Amino acid sequence: MAQSSIRSTLLMPALFAALALAACGGASSQPGAASKAETAPAAETAATGPLDVKSTDMVLGSADAPVTIVEYASLTCPGCANFHETIFPAIKEKFVDTGKVRFVFREFPTAPVEFSLIGSVMARCAADKGGSEAYFLIASSLFKTQREWIYGDDPKAELLKIAAQTGMDEAAFDACLRRQELVDGINAETKIATDTLNVTGTPTFFLDGEKMTARSPAEFQSAIEAALAKKGA
Protein backbone atom coordinates (compact mmCIF):
# COMPACT_ATOMS: atom_id res chain seq x y z
CA MET A 1 0.00 0.00 0.00
CA ALA A 2 1.52 3.34 -1.01
CA GLN A 3 1.61 6.17 1.50
CA SER A 4 -0.36 8.36 -0.92
CA SER A 5 -3.37 6.07 -0.64
CA ILE A 6 -3.27 5.50 3.12
CA ARG A 7 -6.23 7.78 3.89
CA SER A 8 -8.59 6.00 1.52
CA THR A 9 -7.72 2.49 2.68
CA LEU A 10 -6.81 2.77 6.35
CA LEU A 11 -8.37 5.82 7.96
CA MET A 12 -11.97 5.41 9.06
CA PRO A 13 -14.65 8.12 9.61
CA ALA A 14 -13.64 8.96 13.18
CA LEU A 15 -10.10 9.62 12.09
CA PHE A 16 -11.17 11.59 9.04
CA ALA A 17 -12.84 13.88 11.59
CA ALA A 18 -9.54 14.21 13.43
CA LEU A 19 -7.81 15.12 10.20
CA ALA A 20 -10.49 17.75 9.58
CA LEU A 21 -9.58 19.30 12.93
CA ALA A 22 -5.97 19.45 11.82
CA ALA A 23 -6.90 21.09 8.53
CA CYS A 24 -8.79 23.77 10.45
CA GLY A 25 -5.74 24.58 12.56
CA GLY A 26 -6.62 22.39 15.53
CA ALA A 27 -3.58 20.20 15.04
CA SER A 28 -0.33 20.75 13.26
CA SER A 29 1.85 18.57 11.12
CA GLN A 30 4.80 19.77 13.20
CA PRO A 31 6.00 17.43 15.97
CA GLY A 32 4.75 18.39 19.41
CA ALA A 33 1.71 20.35 18.24
CA ALA A 34 -1.62 19.40 19.77
CA SER A 35 -5.03 18.83 18.23
CA LYS A 36 -7.69 21.22 19.49
CA ALA A 37 -11.05 19.60 20.09
CA GLU A 38 -13.36 22.25 21.52
CA THR A 39 -15.50 20.11 23.79
CA ALA A 40 -14.31 17.77 26.52
CA PRO A 41 -16.62 15.08 27.97
CA ALA A 42 -18.03 16.77 31.07
CA ALA A 43 -18.17 13.59 33.12
CA GLU A 44 -14.42 13.08 32.78
CA THR A 45 -13.20 16.63 33.42
CA ALA A 46 -15.63 18.12 35.95
CA ALA A 47 -14.22 18.97 39.40
CA THR A 48 -10.75 17.55 38.70
CA GLY A 49 -7.35 19.13 38.29
CA PRO A 50 -5.51 18.59 35.01
CA LEU A 51 -3.11 16.09 36.58
CA ASP A 52 -5.64 14.19 38.68
CA VAL A 53 -5.92 10.55 37.64
CA LYS A 54 -9.13 9.93 35.69
CA SER A 55 -11.11 6.82 34.86
CA THR A 56 -10.09 7.24 31.23
CA ASP A 57 -6.36 7.26 31.99
CA MET A 58 -4.10 4.33 31.16
CA VAL A 59 -2.34 3.50 34.42
CA LEU A 60 0.32 1.10 35.68
CA GLY A 61 1.01 0.63 39.37
CA SER A 62 -0.84 0.80 42.65
CA ALA A 63 -3.43 3.47 43.32
CA ASP A 64 -1.82 3.74 46.77
CA ALA A 65 1.66 4.48 45.42
CA PRO A 66 3.12 7.55 47.16
CA VAL A 67 4.44 9.09 43.94
CA THR A 68 2.68 9.63 40.60
CA ILE A 69 4.28 10.22 37.21
CA VAL A 70 2.14 11.49 34.32
CA GLU A 71 3.62 11.19 30.84
CA TYR A 72 2.24 12.96 27.79
CA ALA A 73 3.42 10.98 24.79
CA SER A 74 2.77 10.29 21.14
CA LEU A 75 3.01 6.84 19.59
CA THR A 76 4.70 8.40 16.56
CA CYS A 77 7.32 10.24 18.65
CA PRO A 78 10.87 8.79 18.39
CA GLY A 79 11.85 10.31 21.72
CA CYS A 80 8.88 8.62 23.40
CA ALA A 81 9.85 5.31 21.81
CA ASN A 82 13.40 5.71 23.11
CA PHE A 83 12.13 6.40 26.64
CA HIS A 84 9.83 3.37 26.65
CA GLU A 85 12.46 1.06 25.21
CA THR A 86 15.58 2.17 27.10
CA ILE A 87 14.51 3.93 30.33
CA PHE A 88 11.01 2.91 31.34
CA PRO A 89 11.64 -0.85 31.83
CA ALA A 90 14.04 -0.14 34.71
CA ILE A 91 11.68 2.45 36.21
CA LYS A 92 8.81 -0.01 36.01
CA GLU A 93 10.78 -2.80 37.64
CA LYS A 94 12.24 -0.71 40.44
CA PHE A 95 9.45 1.70 41.24
CA VAL A 96 6.14 0.81 39.55
CA ASP A 97 6.10 -2.95 40.17
CA THR A 98 7.15 -2.41 43.79
CA GLY A 99 4.23 -0.10 44.56
CA LYS A 100 6.28 3.08 44.90
CA VAL A 101 5.19 4.86 41.70
CA ARG A 102 1.90 5.11 39.86
CA PHE A 103 2.56 5.69 36.16
CA VAL A 104 -0.08 7.47 34.05
CA PHE A 105 0.19 7.55 30.24
CA ARG A 106 -1.72 10.20 28.29
CA GLU A 107 -1.82 10.59 24.52
CA PHE A 108 -0.60 13.82 22.95
CA PRO A 109 -0.68 13.21 19.16
CA THR A 110 2.23 14.52 17.12
CA ALA A 111 3.17 14.28 13.45
CA PRO A 112 2.07 12.37 11.55
CA VAL A 113 -1.03 13.10 13.65
CA GLU A 114 -3.36 10.73 11.81
CA PHE A 115 -1.05 7.80 12.51
CA SER A 116 -0.58 8.80 16.13
CA LEU A 117 -4.37 8.81 16.56
CA ILE A 118 -4.72 5.45 14.83
CA GLY A 119 -2.23 3.91 17.24
CA SER A 120 -3.85 5.46 20.30
CA VAL A 121 -7.37 4.46 19.27
CA MET A 122 -6.25 0.91 18.54
CA ALA A 123 -4.58 0.64 21.95
CA ARG A 124 -7.69 1.98 23.68
CA CYS A 125 -9.88 -0.56 21.90
CA ALA A 126 -7.57 -3.28 23.19
CA ALA A 127 -7.91 -1.84 26.69
CA ASP A 128 -11.70 -2.21 26.53
CA LYS A 129 -11.25 -5.96 26.94
CA GLY A 130 -7.78 -6.32 28.40
CA GLY A 131 -7.44 -3.23 30.57
CA SER A 132 -4.30 -1.15 30.93
CA GLU A 133 -2.06 -4.18 30.41
CA ALA A 134 -3.47 -4.68 26.90
CA TYR A 135 -3.10 -0.98 26.20
CA PHE A 136 0.57 -0.96 27.18
CA LEU A 137 1.21 -4.18 25.25
CA ILE A 138 -0.05 -2.47 22.08
CA ALA A 139 1.75 0.78 22.86
CA SER A 140 5.04 -1.02 23.46
CA SER A 141 4.77 -2.84 20.13
CA LEU A 142 3.90 0.39 18.33
CA PHE A 143 6.94 2.10 19.81
CA LYS A 144 9.22 -0.76 18.81
CA THR A 145 7.98 -0.87 15.21
CA GLN A 146 7.37 2.83 14.50
CA ARG A 147 9.10 2.87 11.12
CA GLU A 148 7.25 -0.19 9.84
CA TRP A 149 3.69 0.93 10.59
CA ILE A 150 4.21 4.63 9.90
CA TYR A 151 6.47 4.56 6.86
CA GLY A 152 6.25 1.00 5.53
CA ASP A 153 4.66 -0.11 2.27
CA ASP A 154 1.63 -1.63 4.02
CA PRO A 155 0.90 0.19 7.31
CA LYS A 156 -2.41 -1.54 7.87
CA ALA A 157 -0.86 -4.99 7.64
CA GLU A 158 1.73 -3.98 10.23
CA LEU A 159 -0.96 -2.58 12.53
CA LEU A 160 -3.04 -5.75 12.19
CA LYS A 161 -0.04 -7.83 13.33
CA ILE A 162 0.18 -5.70 16.45
CA ALA A 163 -3.58 -5.72 17.06
CA ALA A 164 -3.61 -9.52 16.85
CA GLN A 165 -1.55 -9.69 20.04
CA THR A 166 -4.68 -8.81 21.99
CA GLY A 167 -7.07 -10.91 19.88
CA MET A 168 -8.25 -8.12 17.58
CA ASP A 169 -9.00 -9.28 14.03
CA GLU A 170 -9.39 -7.08 10.96
CA ALA A 171 -13.14 -6.59 11.41
CA ALA A 172 -12.63 -5.49 15.01
CA PHE A 173 -9.76 -3.24 13.95
CA ASP A 174 -11.87 -1.53 11.28
CA ALA A 175 -14.74 -1.10 13.75
CA CYS A 176 -12.31 0.30 16.31
CA LEU A 177 -11.16 3.07 13.98
CA ARG A 178 -14.76 4.22 13.55
CA ARG A 179 -15.08 5.09 17.23
CA GLN A 180 -15.40 8.85 17.17
CA GLU A 181 -15.74 9.07 20.96
CA LEU A 182 -12.18 7.80 21.40
CA VAL A 183 -10.81 10.43 19.01
CA ASP A 184 -12.84 13.11 20.78
CA GLY A 185 -11.52 12.03 24.17
CA ILE A 186 -7.90 12.08 23.02
CA ASN A 187 -8.33 15.51 21.43
CA ALA A 188 -10.02 16.85 24.56
CA GLU A 189 -7.21 15.69 26.82
CA THR A 190 -4.66 17.15 24.42
CA LYS A 191 -6.40 20.52 24.61
CA ILE A 192 -6.36 20.41 28.41
CA ALA A 193 -2.65 19.60 28.39
CA THR A 194 -1.91 22.44 25.99
CA ASP A 195 -4.11 25.06 27.63
CA THR A 196 -3.60 24.33 31.32
CA LEU A 197 -0.22 22.59 31.57
CA ASN A 198 1.65 24.23 28.71
CA VAL A 199 2.56 20.90 27.17
CA THR A 200 4.07 21.66 23.77
CA GLY A 201 5.85 18.46 22.84
CA THR A 202 6.51 14.86 23.69
CA PRO A 203 7.56 13.23 25.85
CA THR A 204 6.61 15.56 28.71
CA PHE A 205 6.61 14.26 32.29
CA PHE A 206 5.07 15.49 35.52
CA LEU A 207 6.34 14.08 38.81
CA ASP A 208 3.83 14.67 41.61
CA GLY A 209 2.47 17.67 39.73
CA GLU A 210 5.81 19.23 38.82
CA LYS A 211 7.19 19.19 35.29
CA MET A 212 10.31 17.04 35.09
CA THR A 213 13.52 17.99 33.33
CA ALA A 214 15.13 14.55 33.72
CA ARG A 215 16.15 12.80 30.52
CA SER A 216 18.81 10.20 31.35
CA PRO A 217 18.12 6.99 33.32
CA ALA A 218 20.19 8.32 36.23
CA GLU A 219 18.28 11.62 36.26
CA PHE A 220 14.92 9.84 36.28
CA GLN A 221 15.96 7.59 39.14
CA SER A 222 17.35 10.49 41.14
CA ALA A 223 14.18 12.55 40.67
CA ILE A 224 11.94 9.66 41.69
CA GLU A 225 14.03 8.85 44.75
CA ALA A 226 13.93 12.49 45.82
CA ALA A 227 10.14 12.55 45.47
CA LEU A 228 9.86 9.34 47.50
CA ALA A 229 12.10 10.79 50.19
CA LYS A 230 9.79 13.81 50.49
CA LYS A 231 6.92 11.42 51.11
CA GLY A 232 8.93 9.43 53.62
CA ALA A 233 8.64 6.39 51.41
For 79-129, the pLDDT digits (tens) are 999 999 999 999 999 999 999 999 999 999 999 999 999 999 999 999 999
Per-residue pLDDT at 99: 97
Average pLDDT (70-81) is 97
Asked if 122 and 163 count as a contact pair (C-beta separation under 8 A), the reply is yes
Average pLDDT (14-19) is 44
Alpha helices in the chain (DSSP H): 6-9, 13-23, 42-45, 78-86, 88-91, 113-144, 146-151, 155-163, 170-176, 180-197, 217-230
Per-residue pLDDT at 228: 98
Asked if 117 and 74 count as a contact pair (C-beta separation under 8 A), the reply is no
pLDDT-derived band at 214 (thresholds 50, 70, 90) equals confident
Interior/surface letters 12-41, b for 16+ CB within 10 angstroms, e for the rest: bebbebbbebbeeebbeeebbbbbbbeebe
The pLDDT of residue 34 is above 70 = no
Per-residue pLDDT at 17: 44
Lowest mean per-residue pLDDT among 37-41, 98-102, 181-185: 37-41
d(CA 200, CA 133): 27
Q: What is the pTM of this model?
A: 0.82
Residue predicted with more confidence, 218 or 45: 218
